[in-house]
Structure 1
Amino acid sequence: MTATAARPAETFAAKQATTRHFLMCPPAYFTVEYVINPWMNPDEPVDAALAMAQWEELKNTYVRLGHTVNTIEPQPGLPDMVFAANSGTVIEGRVLGSKFRAPERAAEAEHFRRWFVTHGHRDLVMPTRINEAEGDFAWTGEVLLAGTGFRTDPAAHAEAQEALGVPVVSLNLIDERYYHLDTALFVLDKGPNAQIAYYPGAFSEGSRRVLARMFPDAVIADEADASCLGLNGVSDGHHVVLPFEATGLAAQLEERGYEVIGLDMSELRKSGGGPKCCTMELHS
């Protein structure tokens, strides 16, 4: 536990859950057959049935909490399509699609574009710059935190601001294990007093200063939390879904009044994914 958790829980405001709308993709074709991040090892066996069971538990958790979950049909030949967060950013009815850096994932973007069109999302822009969507974009309710360094092109940040009409703050990632923003930071509570959790070691010195200035009351995760992808979490403002191994982070969150739900995401982590990677939020 870090020093940021020193204050007693009663000094923090009561946590209020808000209903969320998620888009997910079943891991019907999930496997690890190529390497595009340090977590992936094609020589390590993947248990497809266990991956599906872990994904189902995540989906069922959202439904049990009262959230809406839509699903998109998985496609053969796209084993990482389960990581729906990488294929679109949706804010207040506007949609910015994705453009993947790795050719192995490129076809995913069109499948998600078609889903948006067939489900009534007309205000949709497909990017011209490399943009891995909610993998590198985190909406606080006021600003879009935007990661770069390994996947999303820095120029995609300006493109996102134009397409979505929200202010964007760029953050530079420096550790290849945390190749997407959503592996090192997530939003706990949206709004004017938004709260986040993050792992400082994933960010450049300047980006750490930006985060400390913007979010002085942030929850600071340590390397143990980060190394199990504990920052790849999903919060509804009260309930926080995390990999169960992130015990230090969970303790901090509980002290602040959040209810933590730890899940086993070990099979999907073999491709560098966790709860957030599997979950695109359609922000209203």
Structure 2
Amino acid sequence: MTMDATEPRGPQPAAPRAAHRHFLMCRPTHFAVTYAINPWMNPAAPVDQARAVAQWDTLRRTYLDLGHTVDLIEPLPGLPDMVFAANGATVVDGTAMAVQFRDPQRADEAPAYRAWLERAGFDVHDPKHVNEGEGDVLLVGDLLLAGTGFRTAHAAHAQLQEVFGRPVISLHLVDPRFYHLDTALCVLDDRTIAYLPEAFSPGSRAVLRRLFPDAVLATEADAVVFGLNSVSDGRHVVMPVQATALAAALRDRGYETIGVDLSELRKAGGGPKCCTLNVREKGTSE
């Protein structure tokens, strides 16, 4: 018997599947760049606060249009970086690890996010070391990928494993432009990531190659426009519109990309993922 060349041969890869997400965000009501705690921040450069709000609101509406739930935390005066909600906690299966910021300029964000999580009914644990939330802790399948090198202390990784009861893979960041893990690596679904190899130490690169041999490798050109600071629901990837090559690579893998412009917020070193905390409720693994 002959087989038509147009018929599929052997098992075909499953199409990416979207899963509902519950996000926490903070409107950039008080957004400004008044200090420099990463290489992207320049207090002398002008910032259009109204444009930042409009770009952020487009991101929020994009999530809502995709069917996700978006809660809002009240922005507090004097905390211009509070918009970067990903740094407010790590939340897995109804358990939350609160944060401790490295820099004093952001310290008062921590109790605000902790209070929101408690009111929302999460089981909140206090950090013993510098720990900047989902900026440096990303869930992929049963693993927690944890960044260190610039912000979150390596010692915090052991506490994460104890609190969440999941294996923690420590990854060492070496390029100060990619100071949080979520600027150098994006989780696409429960087994697939995209990342910039040059942002990691040789040992961490070897670990990523071993764990994720089919990862999407980003270019520096896409990483510097925060292309990896993207948010995926397993099928749709909301990402900076400027990261064109990465978007094409993701579409080649079957993902649907949705470009947004957060160029104003990038002046403080943030993109879509920085603005988005995934609050995983009990019984929700994604």
Normalising by structure 2, we get a TM-score of 0.93
**Pair 1:238-2:235 in alignment:** yes
What is the DSSP-based 3-state SS (H/G/I as helix, E as strand, rest coil) of the residue aligned with 1:160?
helix
2:65 is matched with 64
Is residue 12–residue 256 contact of structure 1 (8 Å, CA) maintained in 2?
Answer: no
What pairs with 1:1-284 in structure 2 (closer than 5 Å)?
12-121=13-122, 123-190=123-190, 194-283=191-280, 284=284
Amino acid aligned to 1:212: R
Amino acid aligned to 1:172: H
- CA distance in 1 between partners of 2:75 and 2:19 (Å): 28
Q: Deviations over 1:4-32 (max 9, x none)?
A: xxxxxx96421110000000000000000
C-alpha root-mean-square deviation of aligned residues, in Å?
Answer: 1.0
What is the DSSP-based 3-state SS (H/G/I as helix, E as strand, rest coil) of the residue aligned with 2:79?
coil
- CA distance in 2 between partners of 1:70 and 1:144 (Å): 24
What is the DSSP-based 3-state SS (H/G/I as helix, E as strand, rest coil) of the residue aligned with 1:178?
coil
Q: Give the drift of 1:141.
A: 2.3
Q: Deviations over 1:187-210 (max 9, x none)?
A: 0002xxx10000001000000000
1:3 is matched with none
Select the structure of larger CA radius of gyration. 2
Is residue 83–residue 278 contact of structure 1 (8 Å, CA) maintained in 2?
Answer: yes
Q: How many residues align?
A: 271
What is the DSSP-based 3-state SS (H/G/I as helix, E as strand, rest coil) of the residue aligned with 1:41?
coil
Is residue 12–residue 257 contact of structure 1 (8 Å, CA) maintained in 2?
Answer: no
Is residue 87–residue 133 contact of structure 1 (8 Å, CA) maintained in 2?
Answer: yes
- CA distance in 1 between partners of 2:88 and 2:127 (Å): 11
**Identity between Structure 1 and Structure 2 (%):** 61
2:8 is matched with none
Is residue 15–residue 238 contact of structure 1 (8 Å, CA) maintained in 2?
Answer: yes
- For structure 2, the residue ranges without an aligned partner over 5 or more in a row are 1-10
Q: Give the drift of 1:80.
A: 0.1
- For structure 1, the residue ranges without an aligned partner over 5 or more in a row are 1-9
In the TM superposition, structure 1's runs of 4+ consecutive aligned residues that sit over 4 Å from their partners are none
Normalising by structure 1, we get a TM-score of 0.94
What is the DSSP-based 3-state SS (H/G/I as helix, E as strand, rest coil) of the residue aligned with 1:124?
strand
- CA distance in 2 between partners of 1:36 and 1:54 (Å): 23
Is residue 135–residue 182 contact of structure 1 (8 Å, CA) maintained in 2?
Answer: yes
- CA distance in 2 between partners of 1:266 and 1:222 (Å): 19
